[in-house]
Structure 1
Amino acid sequence: MDGLDDIVEDFLVESHENLDQLDRDLVALEQEPNSRERLSSIFRTIHTIKGTSGFLAFGKLEQVAHVGENMLSRLRDGALQLTPHRTDALLTMVDTVRELLGSIETTGGEGSVDVSRAVELISASMEDGPAAEAPAADPVAAEAVVEAAAEVVEEELAALEVAADQLAAVAAPAAAAPPAVVPVPAAAPVPAPAPVAAVKPLGGEDEPAPRRAVADSTIRVDVDLLDALMQLVGELVLTRNQIVQYVSRQADTDLVRAGQRLNLIASELQEGVMKTRMQPIDHIWSKLPRVVRDLGQQCGKSVRLAMEGNETELDKTLLEAVKDPLTHLVRNSVDHGIEKPDARRAAGKAAEGVLTLRARHESGQVVVEVVDDGAGIDPAKIGESAVRKGLVTADALSRMATSDILQLIFAPGFSTAAAVTNVSGRGVGMDVVKTNIEAIGGTIEIESEPGRGTCTRLRIPLTLAIVPALTIECAGDRYAIPQVSLQELVSLDAEKAATAVEEIGGARVYRLRGELLPLVQLTDVFGTSSERHDGHVVIAVLRSEGRRFGLVVDRVINTEEIVVKAVGAQLKAIGLYSGATVLGDGTVALILDVQALARRALRAETVERAEQRTAASAAAATATVGTERTRMLLAAIGGGRRVAIPLDTVTRLEQIKTATVERVGSREVVQYRGAILPIVRLDQHLGAASSYGYGDEPTKDTLEVIVYADRDRSVAIVVEEILDIVDDTEVQHSDIDDMGLLGSAVFGDKVTELLDVRAAILAADPGFYAFDTAAPAASDDLMAV
C-alpha cells in the first residue's frame, strides 16, 4: 500500500470485504430469487462502491458499478426476474470490480482493465425478450464468453512460459550456461511451478516475498476482546515488574538474562497491544465541519474550519472521552469567539472567521488546540462577572495573574452571555469540559489576546491503562507521580537548602535558574510529619494548568511503568488521588492527582500569602528607619548596577512582551488586567546602561516587571533581571546616594543602591499619591530602609 492515501486504503479494505459478501449473497439469491431483503442488501453494497469510486475519481469502477446498480434496481422493483443468465452477469460484474481493485492496489490506478465486456453483458441481460433469457442466443454474451476463454488460455500459456524459463535458469549450471535460453514451445508439457519455488536460492534478496494483499492486511476485532487483552497485558506488566525486581537481587547470570529477556518481550507486547487501540483523531473531527456550518448559520456568522494533524493517534477510550468536550469547545468558539461579519469588517478583519483544530504528539501526550481569530477574551470582563457572581472576591482578583483570571471561565455557574439561548448562557458546560478532561488525566489551558483570538489547549495522555511514573516516599508511605506532569528533579543538600529556599509573603519558593518556583510540602498537604531530619530537600518540579511548582518529598524511589487501577469512592472523594497501582515489590501505592494537588496547595498558599501581606503592610505603616529585619528584592538594572527594593512594596513579579508596550504622549504604558499601567524603566530613571533597547529596535522580547499597587492604582517598574531575595540585617549601610536613591548597602560583597520607590513611582505616575490622605512623611518612612 505504499503511496496510497489512507482514504483509498480504507476503501479497498471495505470493498474487498463487500465483494466476498456479494459472492455469497448472489449465489444465495439464486436459490431465493424473491428475497427482497437480500436484494436490497446487494443493491446498497454496489451503490456504496459506486458512490465512493466516483468521489475518488475511479471512472471505470464507477461505470461498471453503475450499470450493475441499474440491474439490481430493476430486480428489486420487480421489473425484471432473476435468471441464471442475469446472475452470471452480476457475478461477472463482481469479478471485474475485484480486478479493478487489484489494479488500484498494485499501481494506484485502474490501469488497462477492460470493463466493456462486463458492461455489455449486464446491459444485454436487462433487455426484454428471449434474448435476455437465453444466453446461447445472445451474440454479445457469446462473443464475451469466447473472448474470456481466449484471454484465460493466453494467460495460462504466458504463465507456463515464465515457469519454464525460471526452471531452466535454476537447473542449468552456471559454467555451462548457453548464451541464450531456448524458449519452450507453448504446446510442450511443462512441470508444475511448485518445484520451482522449492529450489529458489536462499536469502531471497533479489526476489522479495510477495506483498500481502490489502484485504489480507487488516482484520476486524471486537473492542471487548481488545479491552480484555489490555487488562491481561496490564497484569503481565505488574508481574514483570515484580520478577525484574526479584531477579535484580540474584547472582545467577542465567536467571538475570532470562529476566532481561522477559522484560524486553513484555515491553514489546505491551506496546503492540496499545497500538491496536490507537485511532486517528480524525474519527471525531469528521463530524465537526457540519457542527461549525450549522451553528455558524444559526448565529449569523461565516466560519471556515481548518484542521491540522488529523492523523494524530489516540487511545480509543480517550478518544470517546474527549469527543464531547471538544465539540463543546468548538461550539463555544463559534458562538462566543468569532464575531459577526459586520463586526469583523469594522475591526479590519476578513468577514469570514477561521476556526483551526490542531493535534500533535508532544512529550508523551497528545496536544489538541482549538484556535479562533475572533474577539478574544477580556480579562476585565471575566473578573467583573466572577466578582458579581461571588466566585471570587475583588481583593483576591486584584492579586490574580491573567492566566488565573482566564481559568475562572471553568468555574461552575460562570457565564458572560447577555442572554440564555439554546447554544449558551446557562453557566454550564465549560466546568464540565474541565472536569471531563481532568478525569482522564488531562489538563486544559487558555491563551487569549483581546481583538486577536483565543487558543484553548488540551493536553491528554496517550493511554490510561499503563503509564510511566515516578515513585516517591513521604512520611513512610509510597506514592506515584505520572511522568507526563514531571519536568525535572532537584536535590539540595542541607547547606544549600538552608539558603536557597526562601519565603515571599509567607510562601516558600526556590529560585530555579532565575525563576521563582513555589514549593508545596507534601507532608503539609497530608497533615503528616516528614521522616527526613537531615535537612536534605528533594523537589519534584511539576507542571499543571500552565504553571510550574515544586513538590517537596522525602525521597525518590524509582521510575517504572505502572498499571492504573481505579480507587474507591471514599479515596476519590478526598480529591488528591487519581488511582492506585501495585508496585514491583507487591506494595500498593496511590497515584497523586497533580492537578488537584496543585489547585489545593496553591490556593491555600494564596490565602496564607494574602493574610501575611496584610499583616506586613499594617506593621510597615508604623515602621521607621532602623527597624528590625527587612526583606529586600535585589534586581539588576544594567551597566553592572543593581538596586534593592523593600519586598513589602512588591505586589507581583511579571514578564510582559516588549511588543505590548504602548505610548500615551511621551510616556510608556502597558495594558494589564483590564487597566492601563504606566511604566518606569529603572535604567533610564537612574541613568544606567540598558541591554533592552528602546523604540522600534528592542533587543529583548520580554521585560522583567515589578508591579506596585496601592488601592486602585498600579505602576510597572522595569528592571533588567530579578536576582535574589535577601535579609537587610546587620549589613553595611551608607548614606552615599544620588537622585532616585535613598542610600546604598553591601549585599553579597557587592555595593547595592537602595531605591527610592516613591520617587520611581512618581516618575511613572505623577498623580499616584495625589489623593493619598496620609502624611507624606509616612510614605517616605515606608519606602526607607
Structure 2
Amino acid sequence: MDDIDDIVREFLIESYENLDQLDQDLVALEGAPGSRDLLSSVFRTIHTIKGTSGFLAFSDLERVAHVGESLLVELRDGRREMDQHTTDVLLRMVDTIRDLLGCIESTGAESGIEVDGVIAVIQAALDGTDVTEAADAGTPDHAVIAAPTPAPAAAAPTPAAPAPAAPPAPAAVRVAPAPIKPVAAVQVDVPDAPTSRATSDSSIRVDVDLLDALMRQVGELVLVRNQIAQLAGSDSDAELTRSSQRLSLIASELQEGVMKTRMQPIDHIWSKMPRIVRDLSSACGREVRLDMIGGDTELDRSLLESVKDPLTHLVRNAIDHGIESAADRLAAGKPSTGVLTLRAYHAGGQVMVEVRDDGAGINPERVAAKAIERGLKTVEQLEAMAPADLLNLVFLPGFSTAAAVTNVSGRGVGMDVVRSNIESIGGAVEVDSEVGRGTTWRLRIPLTLAIMPALTVRSGSEIYAIPQVNLQELVALDTQKTQEAIEHIGSAEVYRLRGSLLPLVRLSDVLGQPRGDAGSAVIAVLQADNQRFGLVVDRVLNNEEIVVKPLAAQLKSIGVFAGATLMGDGQVALILDVQTIARRTLTGEIVDTDQRATAGRATSSAEVNELLVVGIGSGRRVAIPLALVTRLELIAADRVELVGGHEVIQYRDAIVPISRLARSLGSYDDDAGEEIPLVVFTRGARTVAMVVSEIVEIVSDDGAGHSTVDDIGLLGSIVLSGRVTELLDVPAALTQVDPRFYDDASDDPSAELGGTLAAGLDPRSAEMVGV
C-alpha cells in the first residue's frame, strides 16, 4: 500500500505542475492557434494524465482526459480551428481535472465530483451540436473570475527546485471580448518552443516540511553563533576568537545555502495570471493585454504563498476598477486595449512587485466623497489631507468606489485585506495614481521572514530591534543644542534635516515609558508607508542578524511589535513594527491627552502664534502667520512662465499667479538658483504663490517685542531668534497679485473637498517642503 501511495503522490505533484502550465498554454494557444509547439505541449499533458490515471484506476479522471484528448486530436489534425468556444471547453476540462485531483488528494478517491456534464459538453463540441443543455447539466459551475487552484498539501509537497516542464508562457496576452458574448480572444507572440519537455537530472523533490525544519535549525545555529561571538569579544583568548570567527563563517554559508533552497521564482504565481486575466476580462467586457516582467525574481516560498492572494486581488481590481471599456478608452483618446503590467525586481534588500494599469486612475475627490458618504472621514479631516493621503483612504475597511455590488467587487472588502496580509509578512503597500493615466500598486516584500538584518536600540532599560529594510540613516543629536534642533508645529515635533522638516516620533512615548536623557538621543530615520520620519531612541547598539520568533497573543494585541528575537547575551528584544508605528503616531492616534489639550488651548489663544520665517534676499527676513499658509513647495526655476506680462506656474492642473516677495517689498531679488522656494496660499478655488529666497524656520510668537512701521506691505517688526524680522501684511500682498483672492470662496463642491485649507503646515506630508 505504501508503494501505491508514493506513486499516487508523485502523480499528483506532476499533474498539478502540468495543469498550471496547461492553463498558460491554452490561453496562449487561443491567441496563436497556428502554434504546433503549443498544441503538442497541451496534447502531451492530457495524454500523460489519461495514461497514468488509467494505470492507477482513476476511471472518472481517465474518461475526462480521454474525451478532451479527442478534441485535441481534431485540432492537431486540422479538422477544427482553435476558437474561443473551443478554448472555453478545454479550460472547463482543466478545471474538472483539477477538482478531481483535489478530491483524490484529500480523500484518496474520485467520489463527490460529477463528470458526466463536462464530458457531455466536450462531446457536444466534438459533434458540433447545441451545448446549452449539456452545459447546464454538467459539473458544478466554476468561477469565471479565477479557476480554483487547490495547492498540494503535505501529501503532495511542492518541489524546492522543480524541473522545467514546458516552454514558458508568453509575457504578453491580448484579451478582447467577442461581439455577441464577452468571451475573450487571446493573441500572443509565441517564441520558438522545444519539441519535448525537458527533464533535469540535477534537481530532486524535497518535502517542504523538511526544508522548514532545516531552516528552524539554522535559525537556532545563528542564535548560538551570536552568543559565542559575544563571549569571544569579551575574552582575550585568541584561539577562542579564531574559532568563533570560523563558526560565524560556516553558519553564514549554511544559512545562505538553506535560504537558497527555499527560494522560488515569482513566476510560480504569475503563471496563473493569464487565465485569470482572460476570464475576468470576459466577465467585465474589457480588452486587456497582460505584460509580465521579472518573473525570475525569487522569493522565499512561504512569502510567495502569502503574496499570491493579494496579488490576485490587485489584478482583479485593476481590470474591474482601473481599465475602462473599449468604447470609453476610444472616447478618451486611448487604444481600445488596456495594458496591465506585472513587474518584479530587487531594490534595497527587498523584492518590489508592481501591478500597473493604464486605466482611468483614482480620482482623489471621488475617494474623498465616498469616505464622507460611508462615514469613514469628516470633511475637516479630508480638507487637511494632501492628494497622496487621500489615495491611501482606499485601504480603510469598508471602503469601495464601486457603483454596485457584483461578484467581482463592491462590498468594501479587499484593499484593507491586501495591506494587512502584506504587512503581516513585514511588507508594505503603496499606491500612485494619476487621473486618466492609470494606477500603480507597489508591494514591498522582505526576501525572507526567518532571519533578517536589524539595528538594535535601547529605550529606557529595554532593547528593541528595527528592521534594516526600514532604516535610511542615523542622526546623532547635538548634546548642547538638542532642544534648539527640534522644532514644534502645534503639538508635533520636527527636525530640520538638510533643509527638510522630518516628523519625529519618540519611541519612549509610543511605549508609554519616561523619556531618557535628551542630550544623548539618536534619531533613526525610517521609511514606512511612503512616509519618512524620525524615531528618537535613547541609544544605538549594534547591527545584527536576528532570528524572528512569533509573539505571544498578549503582545500581538499591542500592535507595535512585529516579532521577538533572542540576543547573544540571552536578553529578549522585541522587533518594532515600523509601519504600524508610523500609521498610529503620524495620524495622531498616540498623543498624550494633556499635551493635546495644551496644544489646543495654545492654538485657540491669540497670545501665541506660529510664524513661518522666510528670507527675501539682502539679508532681510519676513515672518508669515503659519495658519495662513497652505503648502511649501520647491520648484525648478524654468517652470515659471509669462502670461500677459505676469509670472505664473502650472500647479496642480491650474495656472497660478506668483509674486516675488522681495520685489514687492522693495528689496533685491537675489534668488538665481535652479530651484525656487514657494509659499502657497489657497482660499476656495483661488491660489497664489509667493517666491522667497529661502525657508528659514518656524517659530512661536508670544506677542512681545512688537513694533509698528509705516510701510506698504508690512504690519511691523518683531525680534525672532535674536534677529529683527518684518511681519508681512498677507492680505495686502495677496490682493496685489490677485485682487479677487478674498472674494467669496467658490460654491463648487470640488473646491470644498479638493482644496487644502489654509490651516497650517502639515508635517506629515512628504511634500511639506517640496521634496
Smaller-chain TM-score range?
Answer: 0.5 to 0.7
State the partner residue of 1:338: 323
Deviations 1:739-769 (A, max 9, x none): 4333556656766543221123324543333
Partner Cα separation in structure 1 for residue 341 and residue 598 of structure 2: 45
1:635 alignment partner AA: V
State the partner residue of 1:169: none
Partner Cα separation in structure 1 for residue 643 and residue 248 of structure 2: 66
Q: Structure 2 residue aligned with 1:364, among 323, 345, 349?
A: 349
State the partner residue of 2:763: none
State the partner residue of 2:417: 432
Partner Cα separation in structure 2 for residue 353 and residue 610 of structure 1: 49
Partner Cα separation in structure 1 for residue 629 and residue 521 of structure 2: 28
Alignment of 1:713-732 (within 5 A): 715-728=688-701
Seen in structure 2, the aligned counterparts of structure 1 residues 369 and 377 have a Cα distance that, compared at 3 Å, is: same
Q: Structure 1 residue aligned with 2:542, among 542, 554, 558?
A: 558
Alignment of 1:207-606 (within 5 A): 215-530=200-515, 532-533=516-517, 535-604=519-588
1:339 alignment partner AA: E
- Unpaired runs of 5+ residues, structure 2, are 1-6, 56-197, 746-758, 761-771
State the partner residue of 1:633: 612
Conserved 8 A contact 1:505-1:612? no
1:761 alignment partner AA: L
1:314 alignment partner AA: L
User: Does the residue aligned with 2:588 lie in a helix, a strand or coil?
Assistant: helix
CA-CA distance at 1:388 after TM superposition: 1.7
CA-CA distance at 1:469 after TM superposition: 0.7
Conserved 8 A contact 1:613-1:648? no
Structure number with greater Rg is 1
User: Does the residue aligned with 2:422 lie in a helix, a strand or coil?
Assistant: helix
- What TM-score comes out, normalization by structure 1 length? 0.66
Partner Cα separation in structure 1 for residue 487 and residue 563 of structure 2: 33
2:302 alignment partner AA: T
Return 480-489 or 661-670, whichever deviates more: 661-670
Partner Cα separation in structure 2 for residue 637 and residue 354 of structure 1: 48
Q: Is 2:669 aligned against 1:689?
A: yes
Partner Cα separation in structure 2 for residue 739 and residue 679 of structure 1: 19
Partner Cα separation in structure 2 for residue 638 and residue 345 of structure 1: 52
User: Does the residue aligned with 1:604 lie in a helix, a strand or coil?
Assistant: coil
State the partner residue of 1:648: 627
State the partner residue of 1:123: none
2:572 alignment partner AA: V
Partner Cα separation in structure 2 for residue 268 and residue 637 of structure 1: 59
Instruction: Let me know the Cα RMSD of the aligned residues.
Output: 4.1
Alignment of 1:20-99 (within 5 A): none
Q: Structure 2 residue aligned with 1:755, among 703, 718, 728?
A: 728
Deviations 1:143-187 (A, max 9, x none): xxxxxxxxxxxxxxxxxxxxxxxxxxxxxxxxxxxxxxxxxxxxx
Conserved 8 A contact 2:683-2:742? no
CA-CA distance at 1:394 after TM superposition: 1.0
Partner Cα separation in structure 2 for residue 769 and residue 728 of structure 1: 25
Seen in structure 2, the aligned counterparts of structure 1 residues 675 and 766 have a Cα distance that, compared at 3 Å, is: same
CA-CA distance at 1:650 after TM superposition: 3.0
Conserved 8 A contact 1:670-1:679? no
- What TM-score comes out, normalization by structure 2 length? 0.67
- Unpaired runs of 5+ residues, structure 1, are 1-24, 26-36, 78-212, 621-627, 694-698, 773-781
Deviations 1:440-484 (A, max 9, x none): 000111111111111111111000000001111112111111111
The number of aligned residues is 574
Partner Cα separation in structure 2 for residue 605 and residue 663 of structure 1: 46
Conserved 8 A contact 1:580-1:588? yes
Alignment of 1:733-744 (within 5 A): 739-743=712-716
Partner Cα separation in structure 2 for residue 477 and residue 501 of structure 1: 25
1:410 alignment partner AA: F
Deviations 1:518-557 (A, max 9, x none): 1111111121113x33633211111110011111111111
Seen in structure 2, the aligned counterparts of structure 1 residues 215 and 375 have a Cα distance that, compared at 3 Å, is: closer
Conserved 8 A contact 2:633-2:680? yes
Deviations 1:16-39 (A, max 9, x none): xxxxxxxxx9xxxxxxxxxxx9xx
Deviations 1:383-404 (A, max 9, x none): 1111121111111111112221
Deviations 1:493-537 (A, max 9, x none): 32121210010112111011111111111111121113x336332
Seen in structure 2, the aligned counterparts of structure 1 residues 507 and 670 have a Cα distance that, compared at 3 Å, is: farther
Partner Cα separation in structure 2 for residue 751 and residue 512 of structure 1: 25
Seen in structure 2, the aligned counterparts of structure 1 residues 684 and 273 have a Cα distance that, compared at 3 Å, is: farther
Q: Is 2:605 aligned against 1:619?
A: yes
1:240 alignment partner AA: R
Conserved 8 A contact 1:482-1:591? yes
User: Does the residue aligned with 1:724 lie in a helix, a strand or coil?
Assistant: strand
1:757 alignment partner AA: V
State the partner residue of 2:754: none
Partner Cα separation in structure 2 for residue 509 and residue 737 of structure 1: 35
1:533 alignment partner AA: D
Q: Is 2:750 aligned against 1:766?
A: no
Partner Cα separation in structure 1 for residue 216 and residue 204 of structure 2: 21
User: Does the residue aligned with 2:218 lie in a helix, a strand or coil?
Assistant: helix
CA-CA distance at 1:307 after TM superposition: 1.7
User: Does the residue aligned with 2:375 lie in a helix, a strand or coil?
Assistant: coil
CA-CA distance at 1:679 after TM superposition: 5.2
Seen in structure 2, the aligned counterparts of structure 1 residues 658 and 417 have a Cα distance that, compared at 3 Å, is: farther
Q: Please identify which structure carries the higher helix content.
A: 1
Conserved 8 A contact 2:307-2:422? yes
Greater RCO, CA 8 A, separation 6+:
2
Percent identity, aligned pairs only, is 57
Return 638-647 or 450-459, whichever deviates more: 638-647
1:529 alignment partner AA: P
Partner Cα separation in structure 1 for residue 360 and residue 635 of structure 2: 21
Partner Cα separation in structure 2 for residue 660 and residue 343 of structure 1: 33
Conserved 8 A contact 2:640-2:647? no
